[in-house]
């Protein structure tokens, strides 16, 4: 079980690296005015999205595998787990939004400012804090 937890954390770190960096690429892409720069960001965004999606899927698989072992007993009595799972659902929604945003930039249809992307870049950090506190401290 410790090996599974280790791989879960490794995959989660891979996923979060992308969750933190891809919106930063969106900031720079929204500021780019030259075609060469825009095309470069399109390639970077697409490749990073693939890598982070592998991390996301791996995190989900290993997380579900860990959860199956004590699902019935823990779910009924662990409020912290409900909060953690809710935050994970929010992260998955955020990930899917970024998938859509990569397609928007690829089609040269972005209508949002670099400031917007700077603000949404903070969402995964807030969710990470909540998830780690719930998983480690188990406050309720």
Mean pLDDT of the region 12-21: 97
Residue 124, domain extent? 2-137
Query: Which of helix, strand or coil describes residue 64?
Result: helix
pLDDT grade for 71, boundaries at 50, 70 and 90: low
pLDDT tens digits, 88-121: 999 999 999 999 999 999 999 999 999 999 999 9
Number of domains in the chain: 1
The whole-angstrom separation of Cα 90 and Cα 84 is 10
pLDDT at 68: 84
The whole-angstrom separation of Cα 51 and Cα 134 is 26
pLDDT tens digits, 23-44: 999 999 999 999 999 999 999 9
Cβ(32)–Cβ(5) below 8 Å: no
Cβ(26)–Cβ(103) below 8 Å: no
Backbone angles phi, psi at 39, to 5 degrees: -65, -35
pLDDT grade for 1, boundaries at 50, 70 and 90: confident
| Closest C-alpha to 88, from 48, 134, 139, 127 | 127
């Amino acid at each position: 079980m410790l090996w599974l937890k280790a791989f879960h954390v490794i995959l989660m770190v891979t996923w979060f690296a992308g969750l933190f960096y891809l919106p930063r690429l969106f900031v720079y892409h929204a500021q780019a005015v030259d075609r060469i720069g825009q095309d470069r960001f399109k390639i970077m965004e697409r490749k990073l999205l693939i890598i982070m999606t592998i991390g996301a899927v791996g995190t989900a698989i290993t997380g579900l595998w860990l959860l199956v072992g004590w699902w019935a007993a823990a779910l009924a009595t662990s409020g912290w787990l409900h909060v953690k799972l809710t935050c994970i659902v929010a992260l998955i929604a955020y990930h899917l939004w970024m998938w859509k945003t990569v397609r928007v930039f690829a089609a040269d249809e972005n209508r949002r400012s670099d400031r917007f992307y700077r603000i949404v870049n903070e969402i995964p950090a807030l969710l990470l804090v909540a998830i780690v506190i719930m998983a480690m401290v188990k406050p309720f």
